[in-house]
Amino acid sequence: MDQSIQDILKLLKLERLEVNLFRGQSPNEDRQRVFGGQVLGQALSAATYTVRDMNCHSFHSYFLRAGDPNTPIIYEVDTARDGRSFASRRVIAIQHGKQIFNMSASFQKVEEGCEHQIDMPDAPDPETLESEHSLRVKMADRIPASYRDLFLRRRPFEMRPVEPKDLLKPEKLEPKNMVWFKADEGMTDDLPSNQAMLAYISDTTLLDTSMRPHGLSYMNPKLQSASLDHAMWFYHPFRADEWLLYVQDSPASAGGRGMNFGHFYTQDGKLVCSTAQEGLIRLHD
């Protein structure tokens, strides 16, 4: 069953149980573990609920255990500091009495200052590229029938890879990746909702960048992959339902881990966010 943008926005809107205690749900899907982007977005939402008149400018987080998709996630927020210009929050995600994830987030009042950015690299316009969903449809007959429905399920955001790879027989490529993203219509105007949505989206392709030079994809039955940590830095307001170019690179992999960096640009070339993630890329015999 396809997801709608309202389904994701509902996931990112948490139930308040106490002043700094929140509960998040997972979608009714046939998953073995909770999608990391969901936990990122929900934890950021929890932290944002406890801050007034400030926007998140950065967060750093660690995935500790696989999330159980059949159990609600409890988010406990520690209001570490409230200053005049900055506020700090720590979020712990709990299931079955154990931490599965933690996040440190920093918020800042809007202010003017020095500005510069690295330029957006040249990339084809998203309208000239084929969607990731369309590419999956073309290879559907190569996917086991038991997995085909989940493989073909459309997500509530458009993905258009600049240099797509064959998920079943990937070639060895440069450790670089560019993908255009755009959430479906229905996003609200407020910045926190768009930041939570981008946190959700950012976990979709980043780890894959460190697999490209090794000819790997998550479809490889010998591969064990998982996000280990994730950080984001927000520079300017943006809308997640307008085209954003996700420019990703992987400087190194070692010890069964791959390091990845990413930058989100608006279609007119403004850098609005950067990401970093180390992930597990362990091969079994």
- Looking at residue 155, its pLDDT comes to 86
| Structure confidence at residue 147 (pLDDT) | 76
pLDDT at residue number 214: 97
pLDDT of residue 168: 87
Place of tokens 């994809």: 217
Q: Is 82 annotated in the active site? A: no
Residue 1 is predicted with a pLDDT of: 59
What pLDDT is stored for residue 80 in this prediction?
96
Whole-number pLDDT of residue 29: 73
pLDDT less than 50: residues of the chain:
none
Catalytic residue among 42, 203, 248, 274: 203
For residue range 152-169, list pLDDT tens digits in order.
Answer: 888 889 999 999 998 889
What are the Cα distances from residue 198, in Å, to 3, 56, 70, 103? 16, 12, 24, 16
Predicted pLDDT of residue 5: 92
Given 42, 202, 227, 248, which residue is catalytic?
A: 227
The pLDDT assigned to 146 comes to 76
**Rounded alpha-carbon distances, angstroms, from residue 143 to 136, 210, 215, 238, 253:** 9, 24, 18, 37, 29
Active site residue 277: yes
Domain ranges of the chain: 5-110+134-283
In DSSP terms, 160 is beta-bridged to: 180
Q: Three-state secondary structure along the chain?
A: CCCCHHHHHHHHCCEEEECCEEEECCCCCCCCCCCHHHHHHHHHHHHHCCCCCCEEEEEEEEECCCCCCCCCEEEEEEEEEECCCEEEEEEEEEECCEEEEEEEEEEECCCCCCCCCCCCCCCCCHHHCCCHHHHHHHCHHHCCHHHHHHHHCCCCEEEEECCCCCCCCCCCCCCEEEEEEEECCCCCCCHHHHHHHHHHHHCCCCHHHHHHHHCCCCCCCCEEEEECEEEEEECCCCCCCCCEEEEEEEEEEECCEEEEEEEEEECCCCEEEEEEEEEEEEECC
CATH number for the domain running over 5-110+134-283: 2.40.160.210
Please answer whether residues 160 and 129 qualify as being in contact, where contact means their C-beta atoms are separated by less than 8 angstroms.
yes
